[in-house]
Chains A and B, each alone.
Chain A
Amino acid sequence: MTFKHYFLLSFLGLALVGCEQSATDKVAPEVSGAEIAPPEAISPQGDESSEAAIRKTLAGAQDKLRISEERGFAWTGTADLLEQANQALENGELERASELSNALSMQASALVEQADYNDASWPEAIPK
């Protein structure tokens, strides 16, 4: 077991624990993968400040996506997620837009981490 696998095990544990909580606790953040609330997660209030916050989250995520892609790392689902988030925003569905933008932000952060990890540690993947 490498450090990576201990990290993933810990992550899985958190994901499953959080999953149980999400069924009963509306305040608890969504869990696992794209649904984990990023640090800049926002709670829509249905007003202009919420919309601005969502747009800020989306812009930040887009920056990260662009940088990651320039480094050679992009995922297949992010473009759809971005489109859906923008669509929800246009339709005034702030709660849905917030969820999607948070998910996108999470994925964008994970992409940056993936690029960082590979830049630093790809030789570790060479079988000994």
Chain B
Amino acid sequence: MIMKVKSCVSWRSGFLFAGILAAQTLSALAMGESETAAPDSSETVPEDIAAQVELDIDAFQGFFARRFPKVEFAEYRNGVYALDEASREQWLEIEEFPPYEFAVDQGKVLFETPFSNGKTYADCFENGGIGVRQNYPVFDENLGEVVTLELAINHCRERNGELPLAYKKGDIASISAYMASTSEGQELNTKVGSEAAYEAYKQGKKFFYSKRGQLNFSCADCHMQVSGLKLRADVLGPSLGQVTGFPVYRSMWTELGTLHRRYAGCNKNVRAKPFAAQSVEYRNLEYFQSVMNRGLNVNGPSSRK
């Protein structure tokens, strides 16, 4: 009896490996804020770094242009709905009464509510925090690390004597959503402006292409190599355009969540232990992805399945 059970387990594992093998074979065949924001040092970037980043962007965006020749570049900001017509119709209907609207309103209130010292978020950000989402994430030369919008929000709070907010959902997602909404239509403008920034960019790039978890999948496996194909009932979205719509209201979450919450979910899906939201790893990943998404318009917050 024991051997029978073990045999079943073995067969199940065999099928699991077969599934993974099939998917991977298929993929192979398918072949800041004003106080913290780093000064724009793009003019001092060594030529080879700038050239390498441009090459990466061309190759990344070119990949999708070849893979989906009928999809216009600007459409990628709509994620998987740029590819799948049936999903798009449902999504457009959802967007008629955006489920994130209340969160944006709440975010505006939170954004404008003074801290205990009388200052507000507007005092921390360039242009009063209005229309700045496209500049994040930014590599802060003083801190020597990538600063995302959510991290900048918490830096602002801490500098003003407030406790930081939790990073995955709740108030921080609402504030981020409000700030993103004021950047609607602005082009993502993430720059790699120094050697140190390039190191962070490279770490993010390595993360994106590294296989993780017991299922041995990289971000690129699902969101490049087999993007547009189905994983069970869902079409896999392209990586190009993934960051523009965050924070998003996911039907699965029934609430607004941040990009790093989504990263953690993705990692769990491939049975990799996720990193903490706003960990260096996820910030570098967001940085790399944002550079690759250069030229797309901010359209967050948005809704997703």
A: residues with CB less than 8 A from B are 1-2, 4-5, 8-9, 11-12, 15-16, 18-19, 22-24, 26, 30-35, 69, 72-77, 107, 110, 114, 117-118, 122-123, 125-128
Question: Is A126 within 8 A of B273, CB to CB?
Answer: no
* A118 and B210 within 8 A (CB): yes
Choose one: B11, B28, B31, B212; the contact of A19 (CB below 8 Å).
B11
Among A76, A114, A128, point to the contact of B273 (Cβ < 8 A): A76
Assuming A23-B7, A33-B17, A76-B273, is B213 touching A1 (CB within 8 A)? no
Given contacts A32-B17, A35-B10, contact A127 B225 (CB under 8 A): yes
**Could you tell me if B9 and A35 are in contact, using CB atoms closer than 8 angstroms?**
yes
Q: Measured between alpha carbons, how far is A54 from B181 in the docked complex, in Å?
A: 57
Count chain B residues whose beta carbon lies closer than 8 angstroms to a beta carbon of A: 40
The residue that B21 contacts in the complex, of A5, A74, A114, with Cβ under 8 A, is A5
**Closest A-chain residue to B25, C-beta based?**
A5
User: Which one of A35, A76, A117, A127 has the highest number of Cβ atoms from chain B below 10 Å of its Cβ?
Assistant: A127
A12/B210 in contact, CB under 8 A: no
Q: Are B10 and A1 touching (Cβ within 8 A)?
A: no
Q: Closest 9 A-B residue pairs measured CB to CB?
A: A32-B13, A74-B273, A23-B7, A19-B10, A118-B210, A125-B209, A33-B13, A75-B214, A122-B210
Please determine whether A69 and B10 come into contact, CB atoms closer than 8 angstroms.
no
Instruction: Report 30 cross-chain contacts, Cβ distance below 8 Å, ordered by A residue.
Output: A1-B25, A2-B28, A8-B21, A15-B10, A15-B17, A18-B10, A19-B13, A22-B7, A23-B4, A30-B6, A31-B13, A31-B14, A32-B10, A32-B16, A33-B214, A34-B13, A35-B13, A72-B207, A72-B281, A75-B271, A75-B272, A76-B213, A76-B268, A76-B271, A118-B206, A118-B211, A122-B209, A123-B209, A126-B209, A127-B31
Interface residues of B in 246-304 (CB under 8 A from A): 268, 271-273, 281
Counted as pairs of residues, one from A and one from B, with CB atoms less than 8 Å apart, the total is 111
User: Would B10 and A107 count as touching, CB distance under 8 A?
Assistant: no
Question: Which of the listed residues A2, A15, A34, A77 has the most CB atoms from chain B within 10 Å of its own CB?
Answer: A15
Chain A's closest residue to B215 (CB) is A75
Apart from the given pairs A16-B14, A23-B4, A30-B10, 8 other A-B contacts in the complex at a CB distance below 8 Å: A5-B21, A19-B14, A22-B3, A22-B7, A32-B16, A72-B207, A76-B268, A125-B209
Chain B residues lying within 8 Å of A33, measured Cβ to Cβ, are 13, 16-17, 214
Q: Known: A22-B7, A76-B273. Contact between A126 and B28, CB under 8 A?
A: no
Q: Which residues of A sit under 8 angstroms from B11, Cβ to Cβ? A: 19
* B216 contacts partner chain A, Cβ-Cβ < 8 Å: yes
A1 closest partner in B (C-beta): B28
Docked Cα-Cα span, A128 to B21, in Å, equals 21
Q: With a CB–CB cut-off of 8 A, which chain A residues contact B221?
A: 125
Across the interface, which residues of B come within 8 angstroms of A22, CB to CB?
A: 3, 6-7, 10
Residues of A within 8 A of B59 (CB): 126
Which chain B residues lie closer than 8 Å to A114 at the CB level? 211-212, 216
- Which of B20, B21, B31 has most chain A Cβ within 10 Å? B21
Complex-state Cα separation, A15 to B21, whole angstroms: 12
Chain B 216-234: CB-based contact to A (< 8 A → 1; otherwise 0): 1010110011000000000
